[in-house]
Amino acid sequence: MQLLLRTLLAIYLGHLLGDFVFQTQTLIEEKRRGRLSAYALHGLTHYLSSIVLVGFFVRGSVLSLRTNLVLAGLSLVHLVIDWSKIHLSRKFSGSALWAYLSDQIVHLATVGIAAWLISSVAPPGSLAIFVENLRDIGNGFLLVPVVYVMVIFGGGYLIRFLTRSLAEDARNDPELKRREQLQNAGLYIGWLERFLVVTALLLQSPAMVGLIFTAKSIARYPEFKSERFAEYFLIGTLLSLSIAILGGVVLTKIVLGHARLAG
């Protein structure tokens, strides 16, 4: 069981890094144009991320032909899923959020199958057993970066899809200037905000969340003259904090064994 969970977390961390950290916006655009080189680079990135992490956390697996074949096959399946998502999104316009969510769910399912094929261990019989095994030192160590990458980068994509219409309205507001700088600033602030919130909860210091929200509000105060931006800011910030708090609670519950957050 420990082997299965460790393999699953290692492969999934490789998937998250390949999709959210190592994949640039330029690469995404190249994939949308159907460039085979972009798909090949993305697949290679996923394979290397997965094999390095699995090799590091699962002893002896990097030399296993079975492991390398399974991860190579997983990378190919990943590219097929990405290609399907892009073409379905074009066919059914306006469903970007559902395309993103379903894409990640399917990816997670394929990662689970790959982990099972590599470890050859039966899956847990209940959720309680699954959570208990996650508390193992090795699994807990892997779970921390998995949750951080999911919350910081994966959460950023989710928020972007949920607030897309509000963001367009805010950027088109004549009172807001330097549109590109605003977009980049919001992106980086969101990353840092979610990182700090998860860290604060993991360190049992939830009062820091209020300080983070206050500091962000002060920094953005001059732009609140725009009603459209104020609405976008509030909804985006609440979504960001909600995702980060959920991630922090999960880590607190699994890594520390409880979810009681003292003030």
Parent domain of 196: 153-255
Asked if residue 132 is part of any domain, the answer here is: no
pLDDT-based confidence at residue 148 (cuts at 50, 70, 90) = very high
Chain centroid offset of residue 46 CA: 14
**Which of 98-102, 132-136, 205-209, 245-249 is predicted least confidently?**
132-136
Q: Is the domain of 115 the same as that of 170?
A: no
For helices 127-134 and 137-149, angle between their N-to-C axes, nearest 10 degrees: 100
| Residue 97 near residue 154 (C-beta atoms within 8 A) | no
Asked if residue 167 has pLDDT above 50, the reply is: yes
How many independent structural domains does the chain possess?
2
Q: Is the domain of 104 the same as that of 194?
A: no
Residue, of 189 and 179, whose pLDDT is higher: 189
Residue, of 132 and 253, whose pLDDT is higher: 253
Asked if residue 186 has pLDDT above 50, the reply is: yes
- Nearby residues of 165 by Cβ (< 8 Å), 6 or more positions away: none
Residue, of 21 and 134, whose pLDDT is higher: 21
Model pLDDT for residues 51-85, shown as the tens digit of each residue? 999 998 888 788 889 999 999 999 999 999 999 98
Region 221-239: mean pLDDT is: 76
| Residue 164 near residue 100 (C-beta atoms within 8 A) | no
Locate 239 and state its tokens. 């979504």
Asked if residue 5 has pLDDT above 70, the reply is: yes
Locate 200 and state its tokens. 């604060």
Residue, of 121 and 163, whose pLDDT is higher: 163
Q: Is the domain of 179 the same as that of 113?
A: no
Q: Is the domain of 119 the same as that of 168?
A: no
Alpha helices in the chain (DSSP H): 2-16, 25-32, 36-57, 65-91, 96-119, 127-134, 137-149, 155-162, 164-171, 179-202, 207-220, 227-255
Is the pTM value of this prediction over 0.75?
yes
Residue, of 90 and 54, whose pLDDT is higher: 54
Locate 120 and state its tokens. 């050859």
Of 84, 103, 123, the residue that ends a domain is 123
Q: Is the domain of 77 the same as that of 157?
A: no
Asked if residue 263 is part of any domain, the answer here is: no
Q: Is the domain of 108 the same as that of 47?
A: yes
User: What CA–CA distance (Å, rounded) separates 29 from 35?
Assistant: 9
Conformation bin of residue 195: beta by default, left when phi > 0, alpha when psi is -120 to 50:
alpha
Segment of 21-25, 41-45, 166-170, 233-237 carrying the highest mean pLDDT: 41-45
Region 159-182: mean pLDDT is: 66
Asked if residue 183 has pLDDT above 90, the reply is: no
Region 186-199: mean pLDDT is: 89
Question: 237: closest CA among 208, 211, 216?
Answer: 216
Model pLDDT for residues 240-252, shown as the tens digit of each residue? 999 999 999 888 8
pLDDT-based confidence at residue 179 (cuts at 50, 70, 90) = very low
User: What pLDDT was estimated at residue 128?
Assistant: 53
Q: In the predicted model, what is the mean pLDDT of the chain?
A: 82
